[in-house]
Structure formats: structure tokens, C-alpha cells
Structure 1
Amino acid sequence: MKLQRSGFLAAGIALTATLALTACGSDNETPAAEGGSSAAAGDCVAGSLTAQGSTAQKNAMDEWIKAYQTQCSGAQINYQGTGSGAGIEAFIGGTADFAGSDSALKEDEQPKANARCAGGEALNLPMVIGPIAVVYNVEGVDNLQLDAPTLAKIYSGAITKWNDQAIAAQNSGAKLPDTAIQAVHRSGESGTTDNFTKYLSKAAEADWTFGNNKAWKAPGGVAATGSDGVAAKVKSTAGTLAYVELSFAENSDLSMAKIKNGAGEYTELTGESAGKTIAGAKIEGEGNNLAMSIDYNTTEAGAYPIVLVTYEIACSKGSPKAKEVQSFLKYTSSTAGQQELAELGYAPLPDSVRSKVETAVAAIS
């Protein structure tokens, strides 16, 4: 099964038109300059920015940086996809002007990040919706279907062969080989891993005993560096199974499994199905700190349950690069900036969330 990019354009429109998240408390064309607060509308700030972190949002960042630098003469932005954990560490350590992360700052990270922001706080700004695909490389197997308990058992080492009865029972008629499963996971700290293991923790609680963490905790499996490394490993190696952001799965033309949701349906990963899960998410942060909570065990009909939101971690005030950070994030959170995502395997932020992000960015000082 190969997902077509055009579906995401339609999905992006649907997301923008219909999604409503509730607040609990307080990789080529230059984008059009209409809607939102685009760089072309006079918000350019010359100067350099250094950032790193999430590889999940790397394709989006590459596109945004290219477009922004085309519009804003004198602006230079360097974003390295080092992983969410490394990005947060660099932000806290003062070597990154902002960080990309696939998870909001944890309780023990927030005060350290706040200390970096003289007189301000470190904001969690949702910027990219990135569905997580379960990808595989098994010759002759199309339309693979899996539920959360089976995924948990594969990744914990309880299921080791492709023709295991638990897989066969969900894939009637499929010619599953009597070969070993190579379960690929991210090396280092990764927000994608954090979100994937959150899914397993919520949807396969009885079969997943390793909790959720940015660092992979389960034994066995094969590690690969970054989202591009995971995709390349699956592309080149028969018998592999992995989790990776949709944009990387799509760019590498990988087969994607249908995943069983809390309503008992095996759902294909599309913009619409991912959007149905996001529709049930909540904003947990207060004020301009927009951390979100996703229901990974959603019972919404037709919902694809494994979805992540990638954040930009930035100071509300106190950063010596506040004006430069604000200018760039005004573009990424604008209607024009978000429209760039539809063709890259991401889903644009719904306006109900995008407007909150714009408000938070506008207050950076």
C-alpha cells in the first residue's frame, strides 16, 4: 500500500475546516504570501539562527528554511536533525536558539529549559502534525494488518516470525513467510520513539511493560539512526518492520500497515484518518505553553491511532535571538507556512490550534 501525496492536500483542508481541539486550562516552490503572518508581509529579520532536534520535522524544516531565506534576504537558519533529546539538551545548554521536539518538555525538563530563558519560560509550540507509519518489507505481503498487542509482542520479542499465528489471524489469505522479523527502532533519544511507546503503553497495556521513553528500553531489535536511517534500513532489508513518520515512509515508497484502532477497525494511514485522532487531542498547557495530549486508544470510527505532534521549543522572552526566532516562527505558523506541509507527508495544523500558536509567537520578546 502506497499513500498518495494528493490525499494530504485534501486532508489538510479537511483538518483546517473541521478539527477542534479543546483547551484544558488556561523536502519546493516559494509559498504564497497570503493568509497568516508570512515573511513576505514585512516580518523578515536579518540574522542567523542555529537549531536542532526532531528528525520527524526535518523535511518540513528544510522546506520552510528554503522558502523563508528566499523571502528574507540576510536571514540564515541552520537546523540539524539530531533527534529530540539532543535538541532539548542543546536548547537547555544554550547552543540552540530553538529546538525541535516530537514531545513536549517533560516535568523535569521544563524548569531547566525555563532557566535558559532569562525572565521568561520555554514554550512548547505545536508546529507539525506527523502521523507515524508502521512500515515493513516482506515480499508478497500487501495490506498488512496489525493491532497494538501484536506490535507490542513483536517489539518486546515475544513474536519473532512473520508467520506467527497472531499475525496470520489478522491477515487471512496472506502468504506470510517463515522468516525472522527484524524489528527496527530508533537509536539515541527520539520523540518518535516516545510517541510510539506511548501508543503501545495505552493501546497494549497488558503486553507492553516498558513504558514510554525517548530512549528505546525494550531488549533486542535493530537500531537505526534518525528517521532517514530507519526508512533506509527497511527499504534495503527484507523482513524488517519499523515505525517512522509518514513523510519518510512516503519519500522512501515503503509499504505501510493498517492499524487497528480502539473502535476495532483496521485503518489505513491517510490525512483524514490521522486527523480524526487529532480531533480528540487536548491542549494541556496554560497560557502560551501549548503542550498537547493525544488519545492513542481512540475509539473514533475511521481514526488512525498513531499520531505525533512536533513542537518548537522557544523562549517566551529573554533569548538574545528573540526577534530572529519570532520572525521565523511567524512564518512557520502562518497559513502560508502551514500550506507547505500538505505536499510533504504532514498534516497542517487546524486553524483552532494554529491561531493559538500565532498568538504565542507574536508575544515572544
Structure 2
Amino acid sequence: MQVTRVARILAAGAVCSLLLAGCALNERPGDAPPAASVLSGTISATGASSQVAAQEAWMAGFQTANVRVTVNYEPTGSGTGRANFQAGASSFVGSDRAFTDDEIAAGGFRACIGDELVEVPLYISPVVVAFHLDGIDTLDLAPDTLASIFAGRITRWNDAAIAADNPEVALPDLAISPVHRSDPSGTQETFTRYLALTAPDAWTHGITDKWPITGGESAQGIAGVKQVITAGRGTIGFLDASQASGFGQARLLVAGEFVAFSAEAAAALVENSPLREGRAAGDLVFDVDPASAPAGSYPIALVSYLIGCQQYADAGTAALVKSYMTHMASPEGQAAAAANAGNTPISEGLREKVLAAIDLIRVGTEEP
């Protein structure tokens, strides 16, 4: 699936209800006509499927305000998106993790002049543990229990560990079918980070965007995982919150209490996380530690990044990427995404840092 200029069309007229967030950025009766935009051209990206609903809203608003601009976004998954960006096949990338220190040190970003990047966290959302069990809408799952399910040690829903977490639930004697991503995924890395840091004895496979063990079921992208969970009985997987409606959902143990997911609870985790030290001025990366989640927060929060070059060879590309990222970071852009995707808008303090990072984007011959 590719999200393209159709987002602008859907944002207008009688089908406005399909993209309420985007429509909020369009003209209302009585509004003065917007000033004509001087921007024109096309920019394209591939990347995180978690961002699809947010990208629909962002593109609708941006393309409505800039009628000669086309933004294309293809949800290939974060790993493929980063590879495409490094190969110079896209103008920017959406990724559920930032480039690592080693990846940046290795360089070779063919989309850029030089290897300095702008990486800004513009999509923050809970990662929901979703399951399909007839008649059960909510389960409490402690870290060791959840990790043992995905490690293949707990194989039936009426296992004693699950029963201990849920003493008042009539659990079925049914096989568990864990579902994971077949493609490299930042959402998957966020999930394995939670397992590795909160249940290291039960999950011994580390933090990885590629599923590290055999067994269970696999599917391409968030859409594929969602389809497999829907089609099966006894299935369990992990999904971005924007895709998790209609499933049973797990509450996770934090500071002695089980916490349901919400945008606010995910924000509490991220807001208590430091920015990584030693990064360049335009490289804003959070160090999120689910094992240190404060009481009341939700411990699996996806911090998804928009990534571009600090220096582009083409002036038109630099202007479009800079303007599009600025729109995504704006209060209007963040509100539109939240209305369409249910994610957490960034705080005012973080927005100030994000806009300063985006302001570093320029054509290669320009001076900072």
C-alpha cells in the first residue's frame, strides 16, 4: 500500500469524514483563502507502517496548503525504509528507531551530502499487546508471563502463570499462537526491548528488530500481524495502538499495578526518559527504559522518528523536506495526527528542540 497525493483529495469535500484530522487543517466556511504556496515538487519516503494513519493526516494538511506538492509515503517497515534512505532511494524516512551510533559512524547515506542527519521524534504511541480469545476482552500479564509466551515456554492459555495473573478469568484450554513481524521492524525492536529489560530471565534473546527465534506465526508489517491475529483463535501479538481496536488487550505490570495502554500513559514513560548523550545537535534520540517506567505509565511506548539529511544536493528537496517536517512538528500537525492515529502529541518543550533540529536542513552549498 502506498499513501500518496490521494490524501489531499480525501481531505476535501464530501469524504472529509474519512480523514477528520486532515480536514481540520482545510478551509472552513468563512475562512479567508490561504496564501498561495511557492513550494512545488515531489518528495518520497518509505518506512514505518506504524506511522500510516499519522502520515495520512500530515499529508492531507500539507498538500492542501501546498497544492503543487506531492508527498509519497510507502509503509515498507522501518528496516526497509532505513535501507532505502541509505541507498539514496528516498528523500526522508519514517522509522520506529533512530540510526544507531555505529550506523552513523559508518556513514554512506547516499541521500545526503555528508553523513549528518536530522532525526526527530514526531510519532509517540503505545505498542499494544493484542489477543484473540472469545469472550475475553482484557488480561493482566506480568513481564515474565508475557516473555515466556513469546519465548515459547508458555504454550496454553490456561497455564498456571497466566491464571495467577488473572485469578477471576475463566481461561480456555487452548493453544497459544504468538504472532511476530517477519520483516525488520522498529515496533518489534520496541517490544523486544521491553521483554529483554523487564524479564531478562524469561527472554534471553536480546533487543532486536528481527525476530530471533523460530516458532509462532509471522506476518509482513503491522497490517499482516493484525490480519493473522484476527483470523486465528488463541493468537497474541503486538501492534501500534492505531491498529489495535477490536482485539482483546493486555494490561502490563508497572510498579506493582497493571496498567492499560493510553496515549497519556505512554507519554508519561517517554517524558521521564532522557535524550541520548553524544548525538549531534539535529539528532534527538530518546533512551527509553521500560524497566524504569514510573507508576501509572504504560511501559511499551514506540518513539518513531522522521529522518532526513542535514544537507541535500537539491534545493527543492531540501525545502520540501524541511517544510514537511515543520508541518508534522507543528501544533496543528500533531493534533491532526493524534485525531487520526490516537498517538501522543509532542510536548511544547520537545517541539522547541525539534524545530531547532529541523532548521538545520539546508542545501549542501549553504552555510549553517
Please give the TM-score of this superposition, normalised by the length of structure 1: 0.87
Instruction: Work out whether 1:346 is the aligned partner of 2:343.
Output: yes
> Which residue is equivalent to 2:355?
358
Give the Cα separation in 1 of the matches to 2:36 and 2:271. 33
| Counterparts of residues 153-168 of structure 1 (less than 5 Å) | 153-168=148-163
Is the 8 Å Cα contact of residues 43 and 72 (structure 2) preserved in structure 1?
Answer: yes
3-state SS, counterpart of residue 138 of structure 2: coil
- Among residues 294, 299, 302, which one is paired with 1:300 in the alignment? 294
Q: Residue type matched to 1:362 in 2?
A: D
Which position in structure 2 is the counterpart of 1:255?
248
**1:180 counterpart residue number:** 175
Q: Which residue identity does 2:250 align to in structure 1?
A: A
Cα–Cα, structure 1 residues 58 and 267, in superposed 2: closer, same or farther, change >3 Å?
same
Q: Does 1:272 align with 2:264?
A: yes
Question: Matches of 1:290 and 1:88 in 2, distance apart?
Answer: 17
Q: Deviations over 1:4-56 (max 9, x none)?
A: xxxxxxxxxxxxxxxxxxxxxxx63434489xxxxx68776211011000011
Q: Which residues in structure 2 correspond to 1:151-230 (within 5 Å)?
A: 151-230=146-225
Give the C-alpha shift of residue 286 in structure 1: 3.5
**What are structure 1's unaligned runs of at least 5 residues?**
1-26, 35-39
Question: Contact (CA 8 Å) 2:125, 2:263: kept in 1 or not?
Answer: no
Alignment of 1:1-365 (within 5 A): 28=20, 29-32=22-25, 45-113=39-107, 115-116=109-110, 117-119=112-114, 121-250=116-245, 253-261=246-254, 263-284=255-276, 285-320=279-314, 321-343=317-339, 344-365=341-362
Secondary structure in 2 matching 1:274: helix
- Measured after TM superposition, the shift of residue 319 of structure 1 is 4.3
* Secondary structure of residue in 2 paired with 1:57: helix
Contact 1:187/1:226 (8 A) holds in 2: yes
CA distance in 2, matches of 1:113, 1:189: 20
The 1:74–1:299 alpha-carbon spacing in structure 2 relative to 1, beyond 3 Å, is closer
Q: 1:362 offset after TM fit, Å?
A: 1.8
User: Of the two structures, which has the highest relative contact order with CA contacts closer than 8 Å and spacing of 6 or more?
Assistant: 1
Identity of aligned residues (%): 35
Consecutive unaligned residues of structure 2, counting only runs of 5 or more, are 1-18, 28-33, 363-368
CA distance in 2, matches of 1:50, 1:300: 38
Which deviates more from structure 2 when the two are superposed, residues 186-195 or residues 140-149? Answer: 140-149
Shift of 1:228: 1.4
**Matched letter for residue 198 of structure 1:** R
User: Take 2:143 and 2:108, find their aligned partners in 1: how far apart are those partners?
Assistant: 36
Assess, with a 3 A threshold, how the Cα gap between structure 1 residues 299 and 84 changes in structure 2: closer, same or farther.
closer
Deviation of the 1:297 alpha carbon: 1.3
Rg larger in structure: 2
Give the root-mean-square deviation of aligned CA atoms: 1.8
Q: Does the C-alpha gap of structure 1 residues 151 and 339 become closer, same or farther in structure 2, counting only changes over 3 Å?
A: same
Change (3 A) 1:119 1:113: closer
Contact residue 130 and residue 236 of structure 2 kept, 8 A: yes
Report the Cα distance in structure 1 between the residues aligned to 2:36 and 2:256, rounded to whole angstroms.
Answer: 50
Q: Check conservation: 2:54, 2:338, Cα contact below 8 A.
A: no
Residues 41/195 of structure 1: CA separation in 2 closer, same or farther (3 Å cut): farther
Gap change, CA 1:363 and 1:33, over 3 Å in 2: farther
Partner Cα distance (1:198, 1:75) in 2: 38
Q: Is the 8 A contact 2:117 2:307 kept in 1?
A: yes
Structure 1: distance between partners of 2:327 and 2:270? 23
